[in-house]
Amino acid sequence: MFFASDNTSGAAPEIMAALAAANTGHVPSYGADPLTQAVTARVREVFEAPQAAVYLVATGTVANTLSCAILTQPWGAIFCHRNAHIEEDECGAPEFFTGGSKLVLVDGPHAKMVPEALHRTIAHTARAGVHNVQRGMVSITNATEAGAVYSPAEVAELTAIARSFDLPVHMDGARFANALVAAGCTPAEMTWKAGVDVLSFGGTKNGCMGVEAVVIFDPKRAWEFELRRKRSGHLFSKHRFLAAQMLAYLEGNLWLRLATHANAMAARLSTGIAKAPGASLIHPTEANAVFAAFPRVAHRAAQGAGAAYYLWPFDQSLEGPGEEPLAARLVCSWATSEAEIDSFLGHLG
């Protein structure tokens, strides 16, 4: 019963097999290998973007923050939701890699920016000219940190606001596959066709060992990314091991199958929790994360039986009145089984 994070699951067997297959012979380093060239071609095909620049890195943090660094200046504002991953979970990395850009936070339910709030926040920025941080870029997280999903139309509405202020747009897609299958659209429809300039395309949370792709739809920005990746120490020498993962991830739509399973398990878990005594959902379950509240006594029973998940927020205690509801986050992955979910639900009463 492991629902702490999709990061806690292992790598899918297809990914491990691809890594083993790549571990033979000698090939050029630093991305000059045939697997990396094949990945570039495949990503361009998947996204219907023949001119896109594609770069592989090992972590979502560097994918997000180097993407931001090529889209804004040190004195620029990065407009994002106040619960965006780059705000809550990157330890100041966006500010570090951009050389000082300021995160300017936008409100909205379920960690989704409300268009009117985004417009108002951008318009309010730099009102005193040189004395203020300047308008820089917009970053959208899809799926959000609350497990919600932006549709292509919702993405386009936000990017249109950004364009009205001549701002570029980044999408944090650590769980892009989960958002995509939930929205029932194509990768192109969710990204460049909706106005996204740069995508952090996640693999690690969805069955890879450790790889993310940065997809830059405007190739004029590519050289700066290459320089920043190298300068920051994130250009892998044995690059084929990143490429092998991403190529296997995309082969036969493995990435979509893994995400579809994770989302289905979250839906099963969400439905079961909602039926439990004293339980309620905090956010809609649209991707692979469930946010719910249920009585403390049920938490004690589940965790006592070995269930792993986070109380959300963290500062809640299992000590106290048994019927008092405590909020929690539970995340499903490609490896989550129906048996795990049913066992967990059995402890909720």
The reply to whether 197 and 298 lie within a common domain is no
**Is residue 4 included in any domain, yes or no?**
no
Per-residue pLDDT, 128: 87
**Is residue 65 included in any domain, yes or no?**
yes
The reply to whether 234 and 284 lie within a common domain is no
The reply to whether 227 and 268 lie within a common domain is no
* pLDDT surpasses 80 at 207: yes
**Is residue 16 included in any domain, yes or no?**
yes
**Is residue 138 included in any domain, yes or no?**
yes
Q: What is the mean pLDDT of residues 92-97?
A: 96
pLDDT per residue as tens digits for the range 256-291: 999 999 999 999 999 999 999 999 999 999 999 999
Please say which residue of 196, 223, 252 terminates a domain: 252
Sorting pLDDT into bands at 50, 70 and 90, what band is 305? very high
Q: Is the peptide bond before 84 cis (omega within 30 degrees of 0)?
A: no
pLDDT per residue as tens digits for the range 129-163: 898 999 999 999 999 999 999 999 999 999 999 99
Q: What is the mean pLDDT of residues 112-128?
A: 96
State the residue range of the domain holding 259. Answer: 255-343
The reply to whether 234 and 93 lie within a common domain is yes
The reply to whether 39 and 180 lie within a common domain is yes
319: domain CATH number? 3.90.1150.10
**Is residue 274 included in any domain, yes or no?**
yes
Task: Please classify residue 183 by burial: count the beta carbons closer than 10 Å to its beta carbon, then call 0-12 exposed, 13-18 middle and 19+ buried.
Answer: buried
Residue 157: name the closest of 199, 188, 112 by CA: 112
Per-residue pLDDT, 277: 95
The reply to whether 89 and 170 lie within a common domain is yes
Please say which residue of 252, 287, 314 terminates a domain: 252
The reply to whether 135 and 160 lie within a common domain is yes
The reply to whether 105 and 154 lie within a common domain is yes
The reply to whether 248 and 265 lie within a common domain is no
* pLDDT surpasses 90 at 174: yes
**Is residue 348 included in any domain, yes or no?**
no
Per-residue pLDDT, 58: 97
The reply to whether 148 and 226 lie within a common domain is yes
Residues 349 and 347: their CA atoms lie apart, in Å, by: 6
CA angle at 186 for the pair 185 and 191, rounded to the nearest 5°: 105
The reply to whether 290 and 332 lie within a common domain is yes
Q: What is the mean pLDDT of residues 171-196?
A: 98
pLDDT per residue as tens digits for the range 5-58: 999 999 999 999 999 999 999 999 999 999 999 999 999 999 999 999 999 999
Please say which residue of 189, 224, 252 terminates a domain: 252
The reply to whether 262 and 213 lie within a common domain is no
Q: Which two tokens stand for residue 17?
A: 């097999």
Per-residue pLDDT, 349: 77
Residues 13 and 21: their CA atoms lie apart, in Å, by: 12
51: domain CATH number? 3.40.640.10
Residues 160 and 178: their CA atoms lie apart, in Å, by: 24
**Is residue 7 included in any domain, yes or no?**
no
Q: Kindly report the three-state secondary structure assignment for every residue of the chain.
A: CECCCHHHCCCCHHHHHHHHHHCCCCCCCCCCCHHHHHHHHHHHHHCCCCCCEEEEECCHHHHHHHHHHCCCCCCEEEEEECCCHHHHCCCCHHHHHHCCCEEEEECCHHHCCCHHHHHHHHHHCCCCHHHCCEEEEEEEECCCCCCCCCCHHHHHHHHHHHHHCCCCEEEEECCHHHHHHHHCCCHHHHCHHHCCCEEEEECHHHCCCCCEEEEECCHHHHHHHHHHHHHCCCCCCCCHHHHHHHHHHHHHHHHHHHHHHHHHHHHHHHHHHHCCCCCEECCCCCCCEEEEEEEHHHHHHHHHCCCECEECCCCCCCCCCCCCEEEEEEECCCCCCHHHHHHHHCCCC
Number of folded domains in the chain?
A: 2
**Is residue 338 included in any domain, yes or no?**
yes
